Amino acid sequence: MESWDEIRRWRKTERAVMIERRLAASREDRARWNEAIAATIAQRLPQFRQMLVGFYWPFKGEFDARPLARALLKEGARFALPVVVEKAAPLIFREWWPGKTLTPGVWNIPVPAEGEPVTPEALLVPLVGFDQQGYRLGYGGGFYDRTLAAIMARTGSKPLTVGVGFELSQMATIHPQPVDIPMDLIITEARFDEVRPEGLLPLT
């Protein structure tokens, strides 16, 4: 594929396939995968307990980070949820904790109803798909790429970006474009990989 129009059409098709594949997994399988991913994050990323971590409300069978967030909050972590402020613009993040007032956002996904924007030091980023170079296939809005670019422009550094999804979401390539920003880590129920220039490297 050479043109962006071709790649965009291909991504739309692949996105639908990946979401359908995820939704077709049994509830029991997804629960088991959720537990494995949460355990990996809790054990392998102890620095989260001293960080402000951006996460996401689960959508269409995604990894559910809420139980993990509730547990890590008790150990010193802070968490924030993304808010879409306008189309084709960076996300903002507002701090979240159990009992925080939420309101329906885009696609009726709950978001904090109020609060000053905060800048996460790390991000758990949902993977519709991921490739062997650490790039993610998202929902097509480009929100995370814009958000990461905006944070880097404002602060001079990028949050630790942790792509989180299931093994069934892996792809050979998403045909990355110049605006696509790779993850730093990819975590599934079966992997904890660092993203290197040469591709995904399992961390032991």
CB 33 within 8 A of CB 41: no
- Domain positions in the chain are 4-202
Cα→Cα distances 111→65, 79, 155, 156, Å? 15, 12, 24, 27
CATH topology of domain 4-202: Rossmann fold (3.40.50)
Neighbours of 116 (CB within 10 A): 7
Residue 146 DSSP code: H
Give percent helix, percent strand, percent coil of the chain, each to the nearest 5: 35, 25, 40
Question: Could you list the mean pLDDT of each consecutive 10-residue stretch along the chain, which spans 204 residues?
Answer: 88 97 97 98 98 97 97 98 90 96 92 95 98 96 92 94 98 94 97 96 91
For the stretch 25-49, pLDDT in tens is: 999 999 999 999 999 999 999 999 9
What is the model's pTM?
A: 0.95
Across the chain, mean pLDDT equals: 95
What pLDDT is recorded for position 1? Answer: 65
